[in-house]
Amino acid sequence: MPFSPKRTCAYTGCSELVSSGYCEKHKKYSYYPSVKGALGVKVIMVIGAPGSGKSTFVEKTREPGDLVIDLDGIQSELSGKPLYLNHGHEVLERAIQERNRRIEALQCEFQPGKTLWFVISGSITYDRMTWRRILSPSKTYVMQCTLTECIQRIQNRKSETEAEQIQAAERWFKNYEPFPDETIVYTGDS
Q: What is this structure's pTM? A: 0.85
In a domain, 99, yes or no: yes
In a domain, 91, yes or no: yes
In a domain, 83, yes or no: yes
3-state class of 150 per DSSP? helix
pLDDT (tens digit per residue) in 12-52 = 677 888 776 667 776 666 788 988 888 889 999 999 999 99
In a domain, 3, yes or no: no
**Is 97 within 8 Å of 30 (Cβ atoms)?**
no
In a domain, 16, yes or no: no
> Which CATH number does the domain housing residue 41 bear?
3.40.50.300
Domains in the chain: how many in total?
1
- How many H-runs (helices) and E-runs (strands) does the chain carry? 6, 7
Per-residue pLDDT for 180 more than 80?
Answer: yes
In a domain, 107, yes or no: yes
In a domain, 1, yes or no: no
Q: Which residues of 168-187 are buried (b: 16+ CB within 10 A; e: fewer)?
A: bbeebeeebeeeeebeebeb
pLDDT (tens digit per residue) in 123-172 = 899 999 999 999 999 999 999 999 999 999 999 988 888 999 999 999 99
- What's the domain range around 148? 37-186
In a domain, 4, yes or no: no
